[in-house]
């Protein structure tokens, strides 16, 4: 298990990008998990490994927050 701490604006941007590019509508925590997985996957020690992010969330309750404004 690895962690990745970055400012929340990165997670918001990841959520917005996923909606535009793939139609994947995620909440803040799920977008953060996807972003962290992408950051970890780019590390040299991750080469050839499978990186997994579990997203058991949708974003309907977040429509009024900054993630989708």
Decide: 43 and 28 in contact? Cβ < 8 Å: no
pLDDT digits 0-9 by tens, 3-57: 767 777 888 888 889 989 998 888 888 888 898 899 889 999 999 999 999 887 7
Please give the model's pTM, rounded to 2 decimal places.
0.74
Specify the higher pLDDT residue, 27 or 63.
27
Residue 6, C-beta contacts closer than 8 angstroms, at least 6 positions apart: 35, 36, 39
Task: Please count the residues of the chain.
Answer: 69
């Amino acid at each position: 298990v690895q962690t990745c701490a970055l400012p929340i604006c990165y997670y918001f941007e990841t959520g917005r990008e996923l909606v535009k590019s793939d139609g994947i509508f995620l909440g803040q925590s799920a977008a953060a998990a996807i972003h962290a997985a992408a950051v970890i996957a780019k590390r040299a020690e991750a080469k050839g490994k499978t990186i997994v992010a579990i997203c058991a969330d949708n974003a309907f309750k977040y429509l009024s927050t900054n993630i989708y404004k």
